[in-house]
Amino acid sequence: PMGSERMEMRKRQMSTTQETPGAAQAQHSTGNRGSNACCFCWCCCCSCSCLTVRNQDEERARRTSHELQAEGIPNCEESPAPTLEEVNAWAQSFDKLMLTPAGRNAFREFLRTEFSEENMLFWMACEELKQESNKSVIEEKARLIYEDYISILSPKEVSLDSRVREVINRNMLEPSQHTFDDAQLQIYTLMHRDSYPRFMNSAIYKDLLRSLSEKPIEA
């Protein structure tokens, strides 16, 4: 009986020894899979969902940079300093204000304080679009204008009525220099009636007028 027990114990030990390498190999294989399964893990070393998210973020960043370059609207238009005569003329009509780069710059500075600068940016983008003649450039700029100022998903969306939006959607099927004419006119009218009177009473306009009035006349 004792001999048979010893034989049984040896069989068990040998069986355990044979199973151990396979178990270790399986564990090693599992460990490798764990290190590569990088769905939002620390290593991010395989092509799964975390790389997809990262690639999407990089593509979005490149697209934003491209749009800013394509739009080409500076923070401030280049213009000589306005004269007292020009600044006084701004008070005569909104058209005279918008005809001069200095007037647009001053008005745009005021709109920025009211968080409505997108109205001026949209108007300027439409003016720039009208100067284009290349079909592919027109289509690209029209798309950027739509995404930046017409889309309801844009933080710079301008306020337009449903009729004008329908016109734009039809025009976008074949974009041209005049795709946004109705919308541009509506925003121009909005700035004229709503923002312009407040600009004329603003500290920005009054301070500019005062500084030019007090400036000594050069001989």
How many whole angstroms separate alpha carbon 14 and alpha carbon 18? 6
CB-facing half-sphere around the CA of 51: CA atoms within 13 A: 9
CATH superfamily of 84-213: Regulator of G-protein Signalling 4, domain 2 (1.10.167.10)
Tokens 């790389």 map to which residue?
Answer: 51
d(CA 187, CA 123): 7
Alpha-carbon distance of 57 to 59, in angstroms, equals: 5
What pLDDT does residue 219 have?
39
Q: Which residues contact 141 (CB under 8 A, 6 or more apart)?
A: 70, 71, 125, 128, 129, 132
pLDDT of residue 75: 63
Instruction: Give the Å distances, CA to CA, from 136 to 111, 129, 131.
Output: 32, 12, 13
33-64 per-position pLDDT tens digit: 444 444 433 334 444 444 443 444 444 444 43
Q: What is the pLDDT of residue 2?
A: 47
CA 208 – CA 83 distance, rounded (Å): 10
CA dist list (Å): 116 to 111, 155, 185, 190: 5, 11, 16, 11
| Start-to-end CA span in the chain (Å) | 130
Angle, helices 135-145 vs 117-130, to 10°: value is: 170
Q: Which residues of the chain have pLDDT under 50?
A: 2, 17, 19-73, 219
